[in-house]
Amino acid sequence: MIQSAQLLKSTVQLKNASTSICRRFISQLPKSLNNEKLPATFRLKTGQTFKATSFGAPLKESISGEVVFTTSLVGYPESMSDPSYRGQILVFTQPLIGNYGVPAMDKDEFGLFKHFESDKIHVKGIIVTDYAKKYSHWNAVESLGEWCARNNVPALSGVDTRAIVTLLREQGSTLGEIIIGDAKPAKELEDPNKRNLVAEVSVKSKKIYNKGGDVKIALIDCGAKQNIIRCLAKRGAEVHLVPWNHDVTKDSTHYDGIFISNGPGNPSYCEETIMNLRKLLIRESSKPVPTPIFGICMGNLLLGAAAGFETYKLPYGNRGHNQPAINLLTNQCVITSQNHGFAIKDGEKDMVEGWEKYFVNANDGSNEGIRHKTLPFASVQYHPEAKAGPQDTEYLFEEYLDTVRESKKEYLRQKSKVSKKIYPQIQVGAEVNISNQKQISESA
């Protein structure tokens, strides 16, 4: 009994100490860069307006963009820094946003951001119901409002976001405008789907991650999330991040695999990428050992377009961490992370010879993936790397890299057979100077 009483007393003391520390921590939280709560208005192109309060950047001019919503409960730093949201105003259906703050821009062993999907915020603005100015998390270094203000991104609270979502679901995707304080409304709202957003977010020159990996992967950057690079690098691949319009068929580097990333906007503006992929598919289809190709999200749309599929705009898109997708090969249903407003037409009349449907969305029946029936070409519309979101389908990276490694072995075996046939006197792998090669060639 005495020991129990002492244990209870110690527990109470520890709890009181923890409470005191928490209170002291909260009292020392940094003040918002925008202390003044400015009145604001959120206006849809369809005419509806919503009164709100600004907690982000106090912009003197209104901003506009495509209004989209996410059903994600967590992961706002990852979502807001995702290049796929370029040019969009993001509405959160989760009522409370900001309670765990924003972490530091720390990097991992590959030089990738641990907690973000790029080096900056890509959304045009955010809309939430309740904003938690006071945050609490061991990893946080600033509030959501401070992060938005520092990146010149407007943020509104006090809005019935579920009413906005209902309108979007009933009327379809539309444009919207954020007006803070005395800012004047724009004469015309900006439609991000009328420009090449992929070119805006892609790298301008090649970058290499995990140099020395056992297989070389060309990752075509249409707006690649950091975690896609990480998922390849941590599984041993050397990742070559190349620009969106890079023609890998003309690259001097021999790649063991080709990967097409996610990205923002309308795929029809990526005509250069589609043409490059079409050339790639033709080249690889004729090889005895074709190079494995895989795509994610925008990568699914571009690979599909290159193969001959048509794409179309969804009524309001699929965005969130709780989207069910059915694997048509196994009839397994997986929960996926998604962020897209376009899809591939996959009706009976739309199918391309040699290709088949891979995944479909269990909610709306839209396409979630395609694959070639006999060649190692496939893609999915959702995000198997998640971040944030479920990891049900991260195994696709392992399957892809297993295929790449098997393909590389077969490629080297075929190359070895050719070398032995052309240079029978030379041991494969031995170093031979050019003059020796010439003499052997002439004698042959």
pLDDT digits (tens, 9 = 90+) for 187-224: 899 999 999 999 999 999 999 999 999 999 999 999 99
User: What is the pLDDT averaged over residues 64-87?
Assistant: 96
Q: What distance in Å separates the CA atoms of residue 77 and residue 65, rounded to the nearest whole number?
A: 20
Closest CA to 236 of 257, 212, 271: 212
Is the pLDDT assigned to residue 18 strictly greater than 70? no
Sequence-separated (6 or more) residues with CB below 8 Å from residue 251: 218, 242
- Active-site positions read 297, 383, 385
Give the per-residue pLDDT at 35. Answer: 39
Q: CATH topology of 39-194 equal to that of 197-407?
A: no
Q: How much is the mean pLDDT over the chain? A: 89
Q: What are the tens digits of pLDDT across the range 316-372?
A: 999 999 999 999 999 999 999 999 999 999 999 999 999 999 999 999 999 999 999
Judge contact between 43 and 158, C-beta under 8 A. no
Question: Exposure pattern of 332-360 as b/e (b: 16+ CB <10 Å)?
Answer: eebbbbbbbbbbbebeeeeeeeebebbbb
2 pLDDT more than 70: no
- pLDDT by residue (tens digit) across 404-441? 999 999 999 988 876 565 555 544 444 334 334 334 34
Kindly tell me the sign of the dihedral angle through the C-alpha atoms of 77, 243, 402, 294: positive
- pLDDT at residue 28 greater than cutoff 80: no
pLDDT tens for 268-327 read: 999 999 999 999 999 999 999 999 999 999 999 999 999 999 999 999 999 999 999 999
The predicted model scores a pTM of 0.86
* 57: nearest Cα among 103, 117, 126, 129: 126
Q: Is domain 197-407 classified as CATH 3.30.70.260?
A: no
- 260, pLDDT greater than 80: yes
* pLDDT band at residue 391 under the 50/70/90 scheme: confident
Question: Which pLDDT belongs to residue 389?
Answer: 77
Domain boundary assignment for the chain: 39-194, 197-407, 416-443
Does the pLDDT of residue 162 top 90, yes or no? yes
The predicted-structure confidence for 89-98, as pLDDT tens digits, reads as follows 999 999 999 9
User: What's the confidence (pLDDT) of residue 21?
Assistant: 44
CATH architecture of 39-194: 3-Layer(bba) Sandwich (3.50)
Contact in structure between 131 and 167 (CB atoms under 8 Å): no
Q: How confident is the model at residue 263 (pLDDT cuts 50, 70, 90)?
A: very high
